[in-house]
Structure 1
Amino acid sequence: MNAAAAALFAIALLIRVLVSISPYSGAQTPPKYGDYEAQRHWMELTTNLPVQQWYKDGPDNDPKYWPLDYPPLSGYQSYVHGLFVKQFDPAAVALHSSRGYETYLSKQLLRWTVILSDLLIFFPAAYLASAVFSSDSSSPAAASPQQQQRQQLFVLAAGLLQPASIIVDHGHFQYNCISLALAVLAAVAIAKRKDVLGSVLFCLSLNHKQMGLFYAPAFFAHLLGRCLQQPTYTGKVLGVARLGATVIATFVVCWSPWLTSLDSASQVLRRIFPVGRGLFEDYLANFWCVTSVFIKWKSLASNAALMPVCAGLTVLAALPSMVQQVLQPSPRGLLLGMANSAFAFFMLSYQVHEKSILLPLLPITLLAASEPDCAIWGPAIASFSMYPLLVRDGVSLAYTATIVLYLLVITALVPSKGVQPVTLGSRCGRLLAAAGCAGAVLLHLLQALVPPPQRLPWLHDRLFVSYSFVFIAGAMLYLNWRQWNQQGSSSPVGKAKTK
């Protein structure tokens, strides 16, 4: 690691530490508090109950008080972090009596579990990804070693400093860095032609948070396309069988404590897919929420009727990207496919959260070498789309500071025009991005200076998510177009020999 990368690691770590000083979700707001209490409560459950009871309703596991509703790897993570917290402050994870526990020491311990998870898992993943994906295969000329190093630093900065993930994990309080890091490592492994390892890593990401499903169509299509490239029919079949066996084996290992009976396994499934919670919650910049101003979807149809509609539309939206990767799999195409598949889920699937915008944002930052404008402005728009959530958490200062700092650093690291040629499309993209940020600033000023009408108290939140929706939908269309119009997509990584 060179000095510039080391400095970037230090800056990224410092930002996370400073953001962790902010308030968090549900701070001092009983009776259920918020996401901070949910994570602490899961540590309480996993360190005090047998593993088979983590997802089972009972007197020690109240389904009405933050039930564990993430897949098994999150439970294991909560157990490990709970042991860490218990070592220094046992009362913070004591069964029953620790509800709403918010001492200074416990808050510091929980904050450091996120920081250390980020530092030990996501930071190395981002560094490896910057080395693999920093080559802009769409550039007409090969980059010099100095330009290549600058591009790698640019990709690394986009991954480590993008504000949305920092604010959600270290301000709002979650552990998205773990599942996202596993997805990054899966993409890196597959780009290096280590398909089995990549499949294991992606399954682990999916078993940490079910939002990993957002990437499933992209990984499936890419790996299927690679298998179909085998010269013989037997090779094609064996390739699919090998990856299928890998997926099944990984899930069996992760789920083994709950595979003793059908009832035990179904308990986990019911927890991680709470279909009764509705089409969407709060304000988010997706199709269902934005259009609900005019069409009352929740009144028009039941949850049971809406679910298959959402599933069908999501598959249709992801299908063009999948077809492209089946026909022409490539490392850059995989990243574009991850972004487009995640956009399809964010926009159209059932029970989406504001924080789900982190899913399409991750591959966009990894595409920084070939899509620098998206990597520069995408994180700002993504953060802006979550503002109604973030302002409730009291992290407005961290929100502003991380966006401004990100834009200052990332624009200073943009590769030279000799490596990234300016085209009509890139000029239009920059003008749109500048206009988008100007509009975002105006909406912030409007919220600060003009109170909403009494009969429309939600007006500002609606404006924020509706405005964000326009740019997110535009990014979705643009990246789908880019995936089907790649030039030189067979990068050096993609030409690596199969191992």
Structure 2
Amino acid sequence: MRDAPSFRASAIFIAAVAVLIRLLTGLHSYSGAGNPPKYGDYEAQRHWMELTINLPVSDWYRNTTDNDLGYWGLDYPPLTAYQSYIHGVFMRKFDEQSVALHSSRGYESLHSKVLMRWTVVLSDLAIFFPAAIAFVAAYYRQRSHEERVWVLALILLQPALILIDHGHFQYNCLSLGLAIGAAAAVISRWEIVACVLFSLSLNHKQMSMYYAPAFFSHLLGISLRKKYPVLNVLKLGAAVLSTFALCWWPFLHSREAVLQVLSRLVPIHRGLFEDYVSNFWCVSNLLIKWKQLLPDRVLVQLAFVATLACILPSMLQQILRPSRRGFLLAMFNCSFAFYFFSYQVHEKSILLPVIPGTLLALDEPLVWRWLIPGALMSMFPLLVRDGLLLPYFALLLLFFLGFVPLRSFNPVAASSLLGGFVLHLAYLLLDPPARYPYLFEAFIATYTFAYFAAIFLYTNYRQWSRSRVLSSTQKRKKKV
């Protein structure tokens, strides 16, 4: 590509700006700051570093005198544990007290907070940034230099992920970065690389399962069109199994060890949902008290059936007519189906649909313009509790000023933004009735659920309508 050097220079500049914004966001509070006895997600991540560098691998997921699973026990797959170990070594080198066994609980020195923030920034630079650049180079290679630079900026400056990873405090950049890398490999037709990268994403956070139906159906659809379909499926399956075996190797010595890890990954005991999340179960619970009507076992089955019913159309379309844009739409639609209907969804899980929605920015502009503000609003109560009000509004303003053109503000968009603005003010300034202490959280969840449901119906239509257009084009070419 002739403009590769200029794109590389633009990518470096955008990455530098993105790092600066992450660092500025990290100057603010985080989940559970100064809030004993369990603090929050910041303490969970720090505690996992403490556990992994001080205990043998066999005790990482097991309840022992040194590992109280009731206090932020590891509940993500092995790759998260290995990441915690690497970061734990880093923290021990520069601030040994921050990861000392037992005595470091609730440790919140300024020095350790700076180091912890840097572990997330470095994780972003190591995985998420290169994956985003690789995806833009692969999927938008026929687009102009300006368009590719713009979409890369949108991916790297997308405010929802910045606020959760660098404000609230998590490492979603790793699992999501691996998933983006896998998507880039799919676009480039490197199917085995895609299987390895997506398997790594699954082994970092089990929520990457939201994308699994899209990867499975697209790669199956591609394999069925090859000369030796069975052989190709076997190769891809071998890549997946080998990657899983490598990640799980320290736990494969016994059935008990495997089951111990698995038991930590499936949060059945937490119930259908916890906080107010903008999905079907939480919003409909205002009228239908699911938890009181049905036992957890039945709710798990109901959630499974509802999720399966909603992902099947996208899967079927990709098996019948696999395409690059159809695959990305399937990633979006399947992840939203999981967000809407699966069991025990957290409000932060909206990041899963946001990623493919952002990757499709140039192809589906209506999606990201509505999705990103809706995603931010759906997490607003969480971010307020974290003390992130200033970076929330700063990043929201940056998003509108930097990416949303004035011509897109039609009466429908203006009225929806006005409604969101009113709900923000009500949450911040008004006291809810004593009888309904979470009234405004319920309003926000219901409002953003309506947003998301409309987007979900639209993108499912787009996936199938796009498929019919491609099919008609192919038929005309054959006739010619």
CA distances 1:224-271 after superposition (whole Å, capped 9, x unpaired): 00011124xxx0111111111111111100000000000000000001
Contact 1:154 1:369 in 2 (8 A): no
2:185 maps to which residue?
Answer: 189
**Percent of aligned positions with the same letter in both sequences?**
53
Which amino acid is 2:153 matched to? A
Which amino acid is 1:62 matched to? D
2:169 maps to which residue?
Answer: 173
2:233 maps to which residue?
Answer: 240
2:90 maps to which residue?
Answer: 84
1:203 maps to which residue?
Answer: 199
Aligned counterparts of 1:115 and 1:358: Cα–Cα separation in 2: 18
CA drift of 1:91 comes to 0.6
Aligned counterparts of 1:435 and 1:284: Cα–Cα separation in 2: 23
1:35 matches 2:15: no
CA distances 1:87-125 after superposition (whole Å, capped 9, x unpaired): 000110000110000011111110100011112211111
Which amino acid is 1:478 matched to? Y
1:373 maps to which residue?
Answer: 366
CA distances 1:118-144 after superposition (whole Å, capped 9, x unpaired): 122111111111122226xxxxxxx7x
Q: Aligned with 1:24: secondary structure? A: coil
Aligned counterparts of 2:132 and 2:27: Cα–Cα separation in 1: 24
Which amino acid is 2:78 matched to? P
Contact 1:436 1:471 in 2 (8 A): no
2:245 maps to which residue?
Answer: 252
Distance 1:169 1:437, change over 3 A: same
Aligned counterparts of 1:489 and 1:160: Cα–Cα separation in 2: 31
Match 1:6 to one of 3, 12, 18 = 12
Contact 2:277 2:347 in 1 (8 A): yes
1:19 maps to which residue?
Answer: 25
2:475 maps to which residue?
Answer: none
Contact 1:158 1:376 in 2 (8 A): no
Aligned counterparts of 1:96 and 1:247: Cα–Cα separation in 2: 37
Distance 1:344 1:430, change over 3 A: farther
1:292-371 matches, within 5 Å, as: 292-371=285-364
1:439-454 matches, within 5 Å, as: 439-454=419-434
Aligned counterparts of 2:470 and 2:43: Cα–Cα separation in 1: 45
In the TM superposition, structure 1's runs of 4+ consecutive aligned residues that sit over 6 Å from their partners are: none
Match 2:149 to one of 139, 153, 157 = 153
CA distances 1:358-407 after superposition (whole Å, capped 9, x unpaired): 00100000001101232233211101101111111110111111111022
Aligned counterparts of 1:48 and 1:456: Cα–Cα separation in 2: 45
Which amino acid is 2:420 matched to? A
Aligned counterparts of 2:260 and 2:148: Cα–Cα separation in 1: 45
Aligned counterparts of 1:461 and 1:172: Cα–Cα separation in 2: 18
CA drift of 1:489 comes to 5.7
1:396 matches 2:389: yes
2:266 maps to which residue?
Answer: 273
Q: Aligned with 1:486: secondary structure? A: helix
CA distances 1:302-344 after superposition (whole Å, capped 9, x unpaired): 1111101101110100000000000111111111000000000
1:110 maps to which residue?
Answer: 116
Match 2:222 to one of 223, 226, 233 = 226
1:349-498 matches, within 5 Å, as: 349-411=342-404, 432-486=412-466
Contact 2:370 2:451 in 1 (8 A): no
1:55 maps to which residue?
Answer: 61
Aligned counterparts of 2:256 and 2:193: Cα–Cα separation in 1: 31
Aligned counterparts of 1:178 and 1:93: Cα–Cα separation in 2: 22
Distance 1:73 1:460, change over 3 A: same
Aligned counterparts of 1:377 and 1:296: Cα–Cα separation in 2: 30
1:65 matches 2:71: yes
1:214 maps to which residue?
Answer: 210
Which amino acid is 1:398 matched to? P
1:100 matches 2:106: yes
Which amino acid is 2:463 matched to? Q
Distance 1:329 1:298, change over 3 A: same
TM-score, length basis structure 2: 0.94
Which amino acid is 1:268 matched to? V
Aligned counterparts of 1:373 and 1:430: Cα–Cα separation in 2: 12
Aligned counterparts of 1:411 and 1:473: Cα–Cα separation in 2: 22
Contact 1:373 1:430 in 2 (8 A): no
Q: Aligned with 1:25: secondary structure? A: coil
Contact 1:279 1:351 in 2 (8 A): yes
CA drift of 1:24 comes to 0.5
Contact 1:54 1:61 in 2 (8 A): yes
Number of residues of Structure 1 aligned to a counterpart in Structure 2? 464
Q: Aligned with 2:390: secondary structure? A: helix
CA distances 1:422-465 after superposition (whole Å, capped 9, x unpaired): 9xxxx7x9654443222111211223343222222211111111
CA distances 1:28-81 after superposition (whole Å, capped 9, x unpaired): 111000000000000000000111211111001101100000000000000000
Q: Aligned with 1:485: secondary structure? A: helix
Distance 1:130 1:489, change over 3 A: farther
Aligned counterparts of 2:411 and 2:211: Cα–Cα separation in 1: 30
Aligned counterparts of 2:415 and 2:209: Cα–Cα separation in 1: 33
Which amino acid is 2:152 matched to? L
CA drift of 1:2 comes to 4.1
Aligned counterparts of 2:372 and 2:55: Cα–Cα separation in 1: 39
Contact 1:157 1:410 in 2 (8 A): no
Contact 1:26 1:393 in 2 (8 A): yes
